[in-house]
Amino acid sequence: MSTHHPADDLLLSLAAGSLDRASAIVVSAHLESCTHCCQQLELLEAVGGELLADIEPVDMEIGAFSRTLERLDQPVSVAVAQVPVVRPDLPAGMHWPRSLDGCDITPWKRLGPGMRWSRITVPGDPQANAFLLRMAAGMELAAHTHGGRELTQVLYGAFDDGRDVWRAGDLDDADGEVHHRPVVTAESECICLVALTGGRTRFDGFVARALGAWMGI
Amino acid sequence: MLTPTDRRDAVPTPDALADLLQAVSEARDHAAFAALFRHFAPRIKAYLIRRGVAPGQAEDLAQEAMVNVWRKAASFDRQRAAASTWIFTIARNLRIDQLRHDRDATSAAMPADEDAEDIAHDIVDNSPLPCDHAASAEIGLGVRAAIDSLPPEQARVLQLSFYEDQPHAAIAEALAIPLGTVKSRIRLAVGQLRQRLEYLKS
């Protein structure tokens, strides 16, 4: 049960189809476990459908309908046998969000003691900056603020950054006005799905900055 | 008796559109499909052009959207969504797919062949919905009234979000208001819609 939800502007962009792919994956991961936000999204999609009636139509070309009819019976291509997907290990009982289907996910790479990460490559969008962060219980992430917008969906465990505790199912939406130092709570390790848009993370310390630059975040 | 002008301007009711879609689904009814095509294809084309798709490609994608309407009609459930909502999401997803495909084609070293294109489309066809669309029949019926009850500046922000190729930052610029104001208008608009629909349900 989530207590931190995506803001309305994110859901509206998702409904309108204008949210960038990295953010869309994170927000969709939230929706998979949040009935409340699903209902919000449906409401906004219904608004999109209603507004379609108001739009000034643009005439289709002559013969468009018969060409469409010809296309109806063309065979639908059958996807070739899928290559088995290799993905990094997860804690027992945790499942991959479906929003990551089709994405390439690297094996866990060590960042430091108790801290690992994995880069996510989004098909058709090489610019998308998304990754997973996996930290052991009690670990803390260096204090930082954000050059752009950082969306974080907690997939497993929980962290506390002084503002609040963010548990599995919660979405954190942080920008340059948020300066925080997330600490994983003592109960278990924590895995987060993160999307960065509009600017890099700005770490306070030199070592963290160097690591961040190396990760490309 | 309808004059030709009336015929062109008459917008079918939500119920009539759902009936047509159901006829396509259950009876593979070509006449019903033709009626849906007349109503939706020119609107989908207009939507795509407004979102920055070139007119020639918009024509082709609007036809493809209608092909998808035919093929996927069985998954339409009038208890869960209005026909216009269902068709809007098809057009929206097709455009996202096209953007991705265009980017792939420009970034790939090898020219994409026909098979690769088909597979790219299949992937999107199968892309999982984040929500197992919960019952929302009430939503469809009340939405028009709820939109009409919004103050014009809130309705405008919603319209720009859906039907102009503009991120919220650009909307802020177009309306000469700060980005924070766009976001707060969105929050207000969505809050109002929700409240209004709750009221209609009770």
Asked if A67 and A107 sit in the same domain, the reply is no
Asked if A131 and A65 sit in the same domain, the reply is no
How far B1 CA sits from the closest chain A CA (Å)? Answer: 24
Asked if A64 and A147 sit in the same domain, the reply is no
pLDDT, residue B142, reads 80
Which domains does chain B possess? 11-132 (1.10.1740.10), 139-201 (1.10.10.10)
Neighboring chain B residues of A99 at a CB cutoff of 8 Å: 128, 130
- Rounded mean pLDDT, A172-186: 90
Asked if A68 and A107 sit in the same domain, the reply is no
Pick the residue with more confidence: B17 or A1?
B17
Judge: A57–B82 Cβ closer than 8 Å, yes or no.
Answer: no
pLDDT, residue A86, reads 86
Residue B58: both structure tokens together: 């918009």
pLDDT, residue B126, reads 37
Residue B148: both structure tokens together: 């009409």
Alpha-carbon span B45 to B54, nearest angstrom? 10
Using the predicted structure, report yes or no on whether residue B1 has a pLDDT greater than 50.
no
Q: If 0-12 CB within 10 Å is exposed, 13-18 middle and 19+ buried, where does residue B132 land?
A: exposed
Does residue A16 belong to any structural domain of this protein?
yes
Pick the residue with more confidence: B140 or A55?
A55
Percent of chain B with pLDDT over 70: 74
DSSP notation for B65-85: HHHHHHHHGGG--TTT--HHH
pLDDT, residue A39, reads 87
Alpha-carbon span A105 to A88, nearest angstrom? 7
Under 8 Å between Cβ of A24 and A32: no
Alpha-carbon span A215 to A80, nearest angstrom? 34
pLDDT, residue A212, reads 83
pLDDT in tens, B120-146: 343 344 344 556 554 455 555 688 888
Asked if A63 and A124 sit in the same domain, the reply is no
pLDDT, residue B116, reads 42
Does residue A29 belong to any structural domain of this protein?
yes
Asked if A132 and A192 sit in the same domain, the reply is yes
Does residue A77 belong to any structural domain of this protein?
no
Residue that is written with structure tokens 């919660």 in the block: A170
Size of interface A-B (CB pairs under 8 A): 200
Domain that holds residue A37: 8-72
Neighboring chain B residues of A43 at a CB cutoff of 8 Å: 136, 139, 143, 190, 193-194, 197
Asked if A125 and A198 sit in the same domain, the reply is yes
Pick the residue with more confidence: A106 or A39?
A106
Q: Which of residues 25-44 of B touch A (CB under 8 A)?
A: 30, 34, 37, 40-44
pLDDT, residue A207, reads 75
pLDDT in tens, B68-108: 999 999 999 988 888 999 999 999 999 998 888 887 776 65
Under 8 Å between Cβ of B37 and A68: yes
Neighboring chain A residues of B90 at a CB cutoff of 8 Å: none
Percent of chain B with pLDDT over 90: 37
Residues 6+ apart with CB under 8 A from A106: A88, A118, A119, A120
pLDDT, residue B170, reads 81
Neighboring chain A residues of B158 at a CB cutoff of 8 Å: 12, 47, 51
Angle of CA points B15, B18, B24, to nearest 5°:
145
Among A27, A51, A72, the domain-final residue is A72
Q: CB neighbours (10 Å) of residue A89?
A: 9
pLDDT, residue B97, reads 87
Asked if A130 and A176 sit in the same domain, the reply is yes
Alpha-carbon span A61 to A74, nearest angstrom? 21
Place A117 in a pLDDT band, splitting at 50, 70 and 90. Answer: very high
Judge: A40–B85 Cβ closer than 8 Å, yes or no.
Answer: no
Using the predicted structure, report yes or no on whether residue B112 has a pLDDT greater than 70.
no
Which CATH number characterizes residue A14's domain?
1.10.10.1320
Asked if A107 and A210 sit in the same domain, the reply is yes
Does residue A94 belong to any structural domain of this protein?
no
- Rounded mean pLDDT, A79-104: 86
Pick the residue with more confidence: A90 or B145?
A90
How far B45 CA sits from the closest chain A CA (Å)? Answer: 6
Place B200 in a pLDDT band, splitting at 50, 70 and 90. Answer: low
How far B143 CA sits from the closest chain A CA (Å)? Answer: 6
Neighboring chain B residues of A176 at a CB cutoff of 8 Å: none
pLDDT, residue A193, reads 97
Does residue A30 belong to any structural domain of this protein?
yes
Under 8 Å between Cβ of B60 and A64: no
pLDDT in tens, B42-72: 999 999 999 889 999 999 999 999 999 999 9
Q: Checking DSSP bridges between strand A104-105 and strand A109-112, what pairing results, if any? A: unpaired
Does residue A24 belong to any structural domain of this protein?
yes
Residue A203: both structure tokens together: 């770490």
Neighboring chain A residues of B88 at a CB cutoff of 8 Å: 45, 48-49, 52
Does residue A138 belong to any structural domain of this protein?
yes
Judge: A51–B163 Cβ closer than 8 Å, yes or no.
Answer: yes
Judge: B41–A68 Cβ closer than 8 Å, yes or no.
Answer: yes
Among A72, A87, A119, the domain-final residue is A72
ipTM: 0.86
Beta strand extents in chain A (DSSP E only): 104-105, 109-112, 115-122, 125-135, 144-146, 149-156, 158-160, 165-167, 171-174, 183-184, 190-197, 201-203
Asked if A121 and A163 sit in the same domain, the reply is yes
Q: Give how many domains chain A has, as a whole number.
A: 2
pLDDT, residue B179, reads 84
Pick the residue with more confidence: A106 or B182?
A106
Which CATH number characterizes residue A163's domain?
2.60.120.10
Place B3 in a pLDDT band, splitting at 50, 70 and 90. Answer: very low
Judge: B123–A8 Cβ closer than 8 Å, yes or no.
Answer: no
Among A51, A72, A93, the domain-final residue is A72
Asked if A35 and A137 sit in the same domain, the reply is no
- Rounded mean pLDDT, A133-156: 92
- Rounded mean pLDDT, A20-32: 95
Measured CA distances, A31 to A49, A114, B22 (Å): 20, 29, 28
For an interface test with A, which of B150, B161, B165, B199 has the most A Cβ atoms less than 10 Å from its Cβ? Answer: B161
Does residue A95 belong to any structural domain of this protein?
no
Asked if A197 and A133 sit in the same domain, the reply is yes
Residue that is written with structure tokens 């690992």 in the block: A116
